[in-house]
């Protein structure tokens, strides 16, 4: 079987979608030596780690504009290569390709929070994404929550959608090396106990409310903790800094900026609590990453987060500053609760492996085997 995978987003994107594609490729190479994989992109991409497998072939067709490449160059390449199925892992497919198409839709954020995005993004989302969803033979979602959103918002038939949960990379684990933990604290100028939140600074991540909750904790409960916010600047990030300044918390909050993957496990391990009060997630990998590192989690009770967290996190109404603050206070002060959350979290993450994600994805490809 000849399987095409569009890996063009690796030329630009970082974050969860990148992790998805890289881990899918890595584990396909580990478990499948029979099928042939053609990896398509509009730019040169150096995979890390490299896929030195004879059944994986990079197919580069240079074009400076990804959308034009996808809708013009890619269909021609897929048809010429006689691909049996093409997987587009990031919302949009080559619409005129003759091969059966599998599309991964990670979330419906653009429909639910359209004000978070640029006009250019919304034009693409409101045209190419619905067309791609309609034309794809099969849609993969990261969660039942996103599956339900697709069915509700775009009336996609349930039989067309397969939910395949993401995995947690094995680098996210409990780390006991005190030297390494000290080095990461020094790198990001962090001293003492801290509450950690990880994610791009944008309104959907609800960081401004987290800062207001942190302010309540400081004033009412006199906690010694600082708040560490790890993430690059996203849409309308200014409000986050303005909230911290308005509340006079500049010296109590550490903005690390973007944190590379190699630093994240160490940063999680140093944290006392992980807070993730996002307004909407298609999956919520940081929650599981924190659990894998033995950190108790406070997360939102909405979208995919309750599905992914199960009973292994304290779930809160993300619109309630008081509820977020109260949950964090409990996790800080209640020893038995902390211990219980840590134990449950470590067991919970065992259910989410990239091996399982990959096997289920391969099963979807196999539906189109001649």
In a domain, 252, yes or no: yes
Q: Using 50, 70 and 90 to split pLDDT, how confident is the model at 212?
A: very high
Across all residues in the chain, what is the average pLDDT?
93
Domain count, the chain: 2
In a domain, 115, yes or no: yes
User: Do 191 and 224 reside in the same domain of the chain?
Assistant: yes
User: Do 17 and 160 reside in the same domain of the chain?
Assistant: yes
In a domain, 66, yes or no: yes
Q: Identify the weakest region by mean pLDDT among 17-21, 314-318, 325-329.
A: 17-21
In a domain, 82, yes or no: yes
Q: Using 50, 70 and 90 to split pLDDT, how confident is the model at 13?
A: low
Between residues 63 and 179, the one the model is more confident about: 179
Q: In terms of residue numbers, what domain contains 250?
A: 178-351
Between residues 368 and 248, the one the model is more confident about: 248
User: Do 94 and 196 reside in the same domain of the chain?
Assistant: no
pTM: 0.93
Task: Indicate whether 12 pLDDT > 80.
Answer: no
Q: Using 50, 70 and 90 to split pLDDT, how confident is the model at 123?
A: confident
Task: Indicate whether 126 pLDDT > 90.
Answer: no
pLDDT over 90, % of the chain: 77
Q: Identify the weakest region by mean pLDDT among 205-219, 228-242, 285-299.
A: 228-242
**For residue 43, which of 28, 26, 64, 17 has the smallest C-alpha distance?**
64
Q: Identify the weakest region by mean pLDDT among 15-19, 240-244, 313-317.
A: 15-19
* Mean pLDDT along residues 243-249: 95
User: Do 196 and 343 reside in the same domain of the chain?
Assistant: yes
User: Do 26 and 89 reside in the same domain of the chain?
Assistant: yes
User: Do 151 and 199 reside in the same domain of the chain?
Assistant: no
Q: Using 50, 70 and 90 to split pLDDT, how confident is the model at 14?
A: low
User: Do 237 and 333 reside in the same domain of the chain?
Assistant: yes
Task: Indicate whether 350 pLDDT > 90.
Answer: yes
User: Do 42 and 120 reside in the same domain of the chain?
Assistant: yes
- pLDDT on residue 210: 98
Looking up residue 326, the CATH number of its domain turns out to be 3.40.50.2000
Task: Indicate whether 306 pLDDT > 90.
Answer: yes
* Mean pLDDT along residues 131-143: 96
* Mean pLDDT along residues 282-299: 98
* Mean pLDDT along residues 277-306: 97
User: Do 202 and 297 reside in the same domain of the chain?
Assistant: yes
Q: Using 50, 70 and 90 to split pLDDT, how confident is the model at 118?
A: confident
Q: Using 50, 70 and 90 to split pLDDT, how confident is the model at 16?
A: confident
Task: Indicate whether 370 pLDDT > 80.
Answer: no
In a domain, 286, yes or no: yes
In a domain, 277, yes or no: yes
User: Do 31 and 149 reside in the same domain of the chain?
Assistant: yes
CB–CB of 297/196 below 8 Å?
A: no
- pLDDT on residue 368: 87
Between residues 261 and 305, the one the model is more confident about: 305
User: Do 59 and 142 reside in the same domain of the chain?
Assistant: yes
pLDDT over 70, % of the chain: 99
Q: Using 50, 70 and 90 to split pLDDT, how confident is the model at 18?
A: confident
Q: Identify the weakest region by mean pLDDT among 86-95, 108-117, 302-311.
A: 108-117
In a domain, 172, yes or no: no
- pLDDT on residue 65: 82
Task: Indicate whether 84 pLDDT > 90.
Answer: yes
User: Do 202 and 250 reside in the same domain of the chain?
Assistant: yes
Q: Using 50, 70 and 90 to split pLDDT, how confident is the model at 171?
A: very high
In a domain, 173, yes or no: no
């Amino acid at each position: 079987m000849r399987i095409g995978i569009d890996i063009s987003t690796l030329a630009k994107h970082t974050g969860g979608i990148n992790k998805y594609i890289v881990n899918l490729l890595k584990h396909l190479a580990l478990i499948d030596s029979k099928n042939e994989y053609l990896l398509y992109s509009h730019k040169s991409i150096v995979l890390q780690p490299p896929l030195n497998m004879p059944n994986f072939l990079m197919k580069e067709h240079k074009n400076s504009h990804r959308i034009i490449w996808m809708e013009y160059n890619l269909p021609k390449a897929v048809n010429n290569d006689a691909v049996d199925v093409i997987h587009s892992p990031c919302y949009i497919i080559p619409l005129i390709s003759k091969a059966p198409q599998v599309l991964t839709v990670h979330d419906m954020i653009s429909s639910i929070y359209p004000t978070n995005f640029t006009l250019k993004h919304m034009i693409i989302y409101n045209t190419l994404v619905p067309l791609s969803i309609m034309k794809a033979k099969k849609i993969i979602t990261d969660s039942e929550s996103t599956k339900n959103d697709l069915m509700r918002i775009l009336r996609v038939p349930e039989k067309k959608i397969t939910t395949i949960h993401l995995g947690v990379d094995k680098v996210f684990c409990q780390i006991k090396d005190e030297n390494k933990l000290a080095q990461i604290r020094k790198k990001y100028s962090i001293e003492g106990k801290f509450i950690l939140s990880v994610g791009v600074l944008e309104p959907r991540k609800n960081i401004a409310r987290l800062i207001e909750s942190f302010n309540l904790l400081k004033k009412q409960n006199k906690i010694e903790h600082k708040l560490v916010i790890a993430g690059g600047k996203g849409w309308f990030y200014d409000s986050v800094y303005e909230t911290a300044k308005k509340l006079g918390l500049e010296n109590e909050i550490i903005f690390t900026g973007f944190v590379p993957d190699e630093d994240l496990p160490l940063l999680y391990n140093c944290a006392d609590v992980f807070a993730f009060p996002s307004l909407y997630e298609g999956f919520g990998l940081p929650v599981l990453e924190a659990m894998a590192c033995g950190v108790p989690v406070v997360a939102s009770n909405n979208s995919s987060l309750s599905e992914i967290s199960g009973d292994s996190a304290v779930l809160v109404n993300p619109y309630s500053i008081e509820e977020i603050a109260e949950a964090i206070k409990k996790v800080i002060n209640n020893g038995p609760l902390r211990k219980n959350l840590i134990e449950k979290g470590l067991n919970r993450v065992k259910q989410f492996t990239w091996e399982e994600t990959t096997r289920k994805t391969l099963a979807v490809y196999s539906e189109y085997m001649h």
